[in-house]
């Protein structure tokens, strides 16, 4: 079993810029994160341009889809901002790939106290190995199919769409 992890930024990977005095993006924390996870499965890390998912445009989603299509690994975890995770999942889900794609992210950046990031990554790395082909969102300890998920922004959790 080998997994591709595609880092796209989002809250998970945000970092405090001490000169600007606000959160932004620098280097991805994923190499450190993965070393800390002590994985013995093969992991291929692909760090894309790190952005806030609110800034993602169609072109970004097309490129993420292309990364999935190009992936030699059948199991793919995508680190993504939560605000438009559903939109990207829809683009990927419509492509009907014969791969397992799990999108996850974080409500609190990995670098900040009380972050859920590391748990969510572990959860995603687990379910991606067992789910049937398809596109899923994995947040709050739950697996959602790409076409039945939304973020309830009033409380900051993912729920079914209906």
DSSP of 26-67, one letter per residue?
-S-SHHHHHHHHT--SEEEEEEEEEE-GGG--HHHHHHHHHH
Q: Which of 84, 103, 81, 67 is nearest to 25 (CA)?
A: 81
Q: Provide, rounded to whole angstroms, the least separation between the CB of residue 142 and a copy of itself.
A: 6
Return the residues of window 3-22 that contact a copy of itself according to CB under 8 A: 3, 11, 16, 18-19, 21-22
Nearer to a copy of itself, 89 or 94 (CB): 89
Q: Provide, rounded to whole angstroms, the least separation between the CB of residue 140 and a copy of itself.
A: 4
In three-state form (DSSP H/G/I as H, E/B as E, the rest C), the secondary structure along 89-104 is HHHHHHCCCCCEEEEE
Nearer to a copy of itself, 22 or 57 (CB): 22
**Residue 129 touches a copy of itself, criterion: CB under 8 A:** yes
Of positions 90, 95, 108, 150, contacts a copy of itself by CB under 8 A? 108
Contact residues for 131 (Cβ-Cβ < 8 A; gap 6+) = 100, 102, 143
């959160």: which residue's tokens? 23
Which positions touch a copy of itself (CB under 8 A)? Answer: 1, 3, 11, 16, 18-19, 21-23, 36-41, 43, 83, 107-109, 111-116, 118-127, 129-131, 138, 140-143, 153-159
């Amino acid at each position: 079993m080998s997994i591709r992890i595609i880092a796209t930024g989002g809250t998970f990977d945000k970092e405090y810029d001490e000169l600007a005095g606000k959160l932004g993006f620098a280097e991805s924390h994923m190499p450190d994160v993965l070393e800390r996870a002590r994985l013995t499965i093969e992991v291929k890390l692909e760090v894309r341009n790190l952005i806030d998912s609110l800034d993602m445009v169609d072109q970004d989603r097309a490129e993420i889809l292309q990364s999935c299509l190009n992936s030699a690994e059948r199991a793919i975890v995508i680190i993504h901002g939560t605000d438009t995770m559903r939109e990207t999942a829809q683009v990927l889900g419509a492509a009907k790939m014969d791969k397992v794609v799990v999108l996850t992210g974080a409500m609190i950046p990995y670098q900040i106290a009380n972050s859920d990031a590391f748990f969510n990554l572990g959860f995603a790395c687990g379910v991606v190995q067992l789910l049937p082909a398809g596109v899923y969102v994995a947040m709050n300890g739950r697996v959602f199919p790409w076409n039945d998920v939304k973020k309830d922004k009033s409380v900051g959790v993912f729920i079914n769409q209906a």
